[in-house]
Amino acid sequence: MPRWIDRAKRKLGFLSIPGLPGFLAGMNAAVGVLALFRPDFPRQLALDPVLIRQGEVWRLITYIFVPPPLAPLWMFLWLILYYSYMRMLENEWGDFKFTLFCLIGALSTALPALALNLELGNTAFSTSLFLAFARINPKFQILLFFFLPVKMKWLAALTWAMIGYNLLTGGYAIRIAILAGLINYLLFFGAEHKAELELMWHHWRHRGKFR
């Protein structure tokens, strides 16, 4: 972890939220259930810059409580997976670092949306949590489609490929949503990725010298 996180903990440790994974998963579950009876309910929590400027400031945070539009069975399975990797991240990092990661992720989408008058979703926020978990636990396996064991590092590679594709082919709002939503991941892991790329470049440049 970068040193600035430890410095932030000494000054902002009071922001820690114990049990945050359970709260986030529980709120997504509650919104998902309410949406079955009131399909318009998630709109009351969405990141709508116009309504935020009219005083509905809770939308700066509540948009991360809106789950993806899935059928009930798939929603249940998604919630289990969502909670599981958030809980593992919290166990790995502790309450403060996990809270900080989520807070940066939520605000790094909300503030550009407000500044640029874009209505953005929380897909990038959820993706950043998954990528962080996959980064820390690359060999962790899940059963894809209930029978195919797949390691996190391969799912992360596929996710990065999809991110790259969407950045190349997506519109302005999609690009802003992706880049803004991954700021938390880059702050936590960017230095590691930079060091790995530099090492790969070094090996590539000097490969002929060792033959």
- Mean pLDDT along residues 116-132: 89
Is 167 or 204 the better-scoring residue by pLDDT?
167
Q: Is the pLDDT reported for residue 12 higher than 90?
A: no
Q: What is the mean pLDDT of residues 105-113?
A: 89
Could you give the dihedral angle defined by the CA atoms of residues 140, 127, 35 and 79, in that order, rounded to the nearest 10 degrees?
10
pLDDT at 25: 95
| Rounded Cα–Cα distance for residues 168 and 152 (Å) | 24
**CA 127 → CA 34, 146, 159, distances in Å?**
24, 21, 8
Q: Domain range spanning residue 177? A: 3-210
CA pair distance 172, 34, nearest whole angstrom: 32
User: Most confidently modeled of 70-74, 98-102, 195-199?
Assistant: 98-102
pLDDT category of residue 120 using cuts at 50, 70 and 90: confident
Positive or negative torsion for Cα 168, 174, 179, 181: negative
Strand-pairing partners, residue 151, are 141
Helices and strands, number each (H, E), in the chain? 10, 2
pTM for this prediction: 0.86
Q: Does 194 score more than 80 pLDDT?
A: no
Q: Which residue has the higher pLDDT, 206 or 98?
A: 98
Residue with tokens 């009351």: 44
Domain count, the chain: 1
pLDDT tens-place string over residues 143-162: 776 677 888 888 999 999 99
Q: What is the mean pLDDT of the chain?
A: 87
SS3 200: helix
CATH of the domain at 181: 1.20.1540
